[in-house]
Amino acid sequence: MKIVIIGGSHAGMMAADELLRIAPENEIEIYDRNLVSSFAAEDISAYVRGDVDRLTDLHFDETSIKNSRKVKIFQAHSVIGLSTKLHQITIVDKNRSHTFTTNYDKLIIASGATNRLPIIPGVESENVLVARSFRQVEVLQKKILASHKIAIIGAGRSGIEFALAAHKLQKDVQIFEHNDQFATHYVGNKLSLWLQKQLSQNGIGVHNRTAVEEFQQQADGSLILKTNQCDFTADLVLLAFGFVPSTTFVKNELKTQLDGSITVNEYLETTEPDVYAIGDCASVIDKNSAKKTLATRLATRAMRQAFVAAHNVLGQHYRFVPLQSTSGLQVFDEWFAQAGLTLEKAREWDYQANLVSYEGPWIQEYGEINSHVVVHLTYDISSRKILGVQITCNQNVSQFASIVAVMMQNGNTIDDLAQADILYEQGNGMPLNFLNFVAQRAVTVERSYGRDQPQINLN
């Protein structure tokens, strides 16, 4: 059987790797539009800030794939057409400006996404950059080292990561966001204010409710940013407006969402037989609502989808477990982690939701030990099910968000979390974990309103 994979980043390479492991007799072809395959784009900020020495270190381990006679990797090859009726794709070899077709028995689309470019006058200026591909990051690194005033446009996760990276390089960093909130897909109002405070107190200029209306290039290469508030100058501008799925070649062949992402079912099958879609090019249903798709893009999602698709291509029937956007981020000397819905998002999705918070130590504090943690728990009032959690701490407690993520996948309630058996290690925790504390507080709040009907789902 011939399996064709479109895209050579996390999802595509992981799918090929899993296919080799479980069914090495199949023929696999990978078509990658980039010159460098398996590039780990989510680690770009680590390279920019100097934590990774070589850009070539940012890659998925593809040793088994390159050493296999059954796998052929075609780099600098862009797929421009798809015929599901003929089981055929059309490809441009950019090295030779040559167009050709190839057939498939099974097709896995892992074409990823590209940077969203705003319609702003001057956006084509040479010092207005995006960073997603290997080559783009090479250019960015050279320019950021040669610049002093750096402007980041967009305060989502990637924008914040780039702002932190540039600040570590001792640059003058300003970050602009047209919304009130920062990281709107990840945090609620409370955590947005926390993020803005952390950035501002550590010397990064924070500009929310600020829309950039024009970039004016100056003779010396610098830029004037015309905004709805006032004008700013910068040596370099980095755009972080999010991403657009790279799916133009599936037009009229596969059903897509409004944002261009390919519609898939719970088995990652598209609307045509023998075609699967994974990673940033595919739509993903949120765990908390079968009618809502996620706007966040994480490597963990791509890798898990690759595993599922590889098995399903071979005739198995693995269901992809819906996501909850579990993630974490270090912000200077503080850590942030989250999973699931914020209170605002839950109410937007028509939940009768509530939020309770706990603030206090997470380790028994003796002497000079300081372990301040703040946790916000969102839950559905009627079912008492957990909907989301957000944690900030001066220690790295990010993995505790994973506990809540798994409990949400299991449909657990605040009553379950109130009693959950969470590891206690003497000297490195509390006999009752802060997650137990916040859930018990939620139970008490519900009792105060006369809603005292516990729902225990844990066995």
Q: Domains in the chain, start-ordered, CATH in brackets?
A: 2-114+243-313 (3.50.50.60), 117-239 (3.50.50.60), 327-448 (3.30.390.30)
Q: What whole-number distance in Å separates Cα of residue 14 and Cα of residue 9? A: 8
The model's pTM is: 0.90
Q: Which residue has the higher pLDDT, 27 or 327?
A: 27
Residue with tokens 């381990």: 61
pLDDT average, residue stretch 27-34: 94
pLDDT average, residue stretch 89-109: 96
Radius of gyration of the chain (CA): 24
DSSP state of 357: E
pLDDT average, residue stretch 180-187: 86
The burial class, CB within 10 Å (0-12 / 13-18 / 19+), for 17 is buried
Q: What does residue 341 show for φ and ψ, rounded to 5 degrees?
A: -95, 145
Q: What does residue 209 show for φ and ψ, rounded to 5 degrees?
A: 55, 35
Query: Taking 70 as the threshold, does the pLDDT of residue 367 lie above it?
Result: no
Question: 418 by DSSP, 3-state: which?
Answer: helix
Q: Do residues 57 and 134 touch, judged by C-beta distance below 8 A?
A: no
Query: Taking 80 as the threshold, does the pLDDT of residue 63 lie above it?
Result: no
Query: What is the number of residues in the chain?
Result: 459
Q: What whole-number distance in Å separates Cα of residue 358 and Cα of residue 391? A: 10
The pLDDT of residue 424 is 79
The pLDDT of residue 447 is 96
Q: What whole-number distance in Å separates Cα of residue 278 and Cα of residue 290? A: 18
The pLDDT of residue 289 is 53
Q: What whole-number distance in Å separates Cα of residue 311 and Cα of residue 13? A: 14
Q: Which among 148, 154, 156 has a CA at the least distance from the CA of 172?
A: 148
The pLDDT of residue 292 is 54
pLDDT average, residue stretch 275-294: 75
CB atoms within 10 A of CB 146: 10
List CB contacts of 64: < 8 A, sequence separation 6 or more.
17, 20, 21
Strands 223-227 and 88-93: unpaired
Question: 180 by DSSP, 3-state: which?
Answer: coil
- Least confident interval from 1-15, 59-73, 338-352: 59-73
In 205-314, which ranges are E strands? Answer: 205-208, 212-217, 223-227, 231-234, 236-239, 243-245, 275-277, 285-286, 289-293
Q: Which residue has the higher pLDDT, 373 or 37?
A: 373
Q: Which amino acid belongs to residue 133?
A: S
pLDDT average, residue stretch 319-333: 87
- Least confident interval from 119-123, 170-174, 215-219, 366-370: 366-370
Question: 154 by DSSP, 3-state: which?
Answer: coil
The pLDDT of residue 295 is 56
Query: Taking 90 as the threshold, does the pLDDT of residue 137 lie above it?
Result: no
The pLDDT of residue 45 is 85
The pLDDT of residue 419 is 95
CB atoms within 10 A of CB 248: 13
Query: Taking 90 as the threshold, does the pLDDT of residue 39 lie above it?
Result: no
Helices 299-313 + 10-22 axis angle, to 10:
40
The pLDDT of residue 296 is 58
Q: Which among 132, 110, 112 has a CA at the least distance from the CA of 16?
A: 110
Q: What whole-number distance in Å separates Cα of residue 128 and Cα of residue 269? A: 38
Q: Which two tokens stand for residue 237?
A: 């501008």
Query: Taking 80 as the threshold, does the pLDDT of residue 370 lie above it?
Result: no
Residue-wise pLDDT for 378-387, tens only, equals 999 999 999 9
Residue-wise pLDDT for 413-435, tens only, equals 999 999 999 987 776 777 889 99
Query: Taking 90 as the threshold, does the pLDDT of residue 246 lie above it?
Result: yes
Half-sphere exposure of 139 (CA within 13 A, CB side): 14
Q: Which among 218, 220, 219, 215 has a CA at the least distance from the CA of 238?
A: 215
Q: Do residues 295 and 184 touch, judged by C-beta distance below 8 A?
A: no
